[in-house]
Amino acid sequence: MRILITGGTGLIGRQLCKALLAEGHELTVLSRNPASVPVKCGAVVHALAGLAEWQPEQAFDAVINLAGEPIVDKSWTAKRKQVLWDSRVTLTEELVRCIAVAEHKPGVLLSGSAVGYYGNRGDVMLDEAACAGEGFAAELCKAWEDAARIAESAGVRVCLLRTAPVLNNDGGMLGKMLPAFRLGLGARLGDGKQWMSWVHMQDYVAMALRLLRDPHAAGPYNMAAPQPVTNTEFTRALAAALCRPALFVAPAALLKLAMGERASLLLEGQRVLPRKMEAAQYRFAFTNLEDALRDLLGK
């Protein structure tokens, strides 16, 4: 297939490009830095510097939309919130407009979202039928999904990827946590009762490929392992995988003082279950957090 990918130079995008190239697909990656695309995604991968370069006569069989500025790295000022919105919602709106005028419309759009769609729901088990939650992150995800769904009116099959934090040994959430945990400075966040959904990179890529190929797959999918854990359990498991203690606690009040509204990403959580992938008989390579960490950390 001829596939256009936004966000292809990111952590997930690079791994997805690698898998798609191995299957023989022809890839084009949208990037503000097109010179980096062959280096990060593969020498044979084409680059687009902007959606304005996608001419109506240029044909793509599928579009994978993973673009989005990092949500946790910087304070949520009004300006930063607008950047986050534009990099997800506005870009998706522009992408769908390009799809609408394309002479050869893609058969499928896989569009990013996140488990933050559900907001803070405590211990409630959340499958894909659960409604959107409250708060900035939830509102951002809902608008992001709504923008992607418009492509359905052009006859495009749309899958919404409600992604849990993806565990990989080369960046992402785990990459940010490892330095402190390797020094024995790992800490529980707040009371540690908040749920942490997660997914191994290998399973994320395999699920995305499944959705790309399955002509019956549509709508939201929880891209998460079937056994979410609490923050306390995650902290203990990561410390144990590294053979280090994790004796500290990062008080909720301190995190809120340091991070403001953004602290909700650490102190609130979602107990997400991948019901639709399980119904499609997808077999997870990693259902257990300890096994996933052992695989990634080589222990």
**Rounded percentage of the chain residues whose pLDDT exceeds 70:** 100
**CA distances to 13, 26, 34, 61, 223 from 45, in Å:** 12, 7, 10, 16, 26
pTM comes to 0.96
Q: How far apart are the first and last CA of the chain?
A: 38
Residue 299, pLDDT score: 58
Fold of 2-166+199-224: Rossmann fold (3.40.50)
The residues spanned by each domain of the chain are: 2-166+199-224
Q: For tokens 């499958």, name the residue.
A: 127
**Closest alpha carbon to 219 in 279, 276, 294, 280:** 276
**Closest alpha carbon to 111 in 125, 129, 99:** 99
What is the distance between the alpha carbons of residues 216 and 201, in angstroms, rounded to a whole number?
Answer: 24
Q: Which long-range contacts (CB under 8 A, 24 or more apart) does 278-284 make?
A: 278/226, 280/210, 280/214, 280/217, 282/206, 282/207, 282/210, 284/203, 284/225, 284/226
Evaluate whether 228 touches 197 at the Cβ level (below 8 Å).
yes
pLDDT tens digits for range 2-55: 999 999 999 999 999 999 999 999 999 999 999 999 999 999 999 999 999 999
Q: For tokens 């370069």, name the residue.
A: 53
State how beta strands 195-196 and 26-30 pair: unpaired
Q: For tokens 């606690």, name the residue.
A: 249
Question: How is residue 189 annotated by DSSP?
Answer: E
pLDDT tens digits for range 72-87: 999 999 999 999 999 9
State how beta strands 125-126 and 199-200 pair: unpaired
Three-class secondary structure of residue 261 per DSSP: helix
What is the distance between the alpha carbons of residues 73 and 50, in angstroms, rounded to a whole number?
Answer: 24
Mean pLDDT of all residues belonging to the chain: 97
Stretch 146-155: mean pLDDT: 98
* Backbone phi and psi for residue 70, each to the nearest 5 degrees, phi listed first: -55, 135
Residue 169, pLDDT score: 87
Q: Is 281 left (phi over 0), alpha (psi -120 to 50) or beta?
A: left
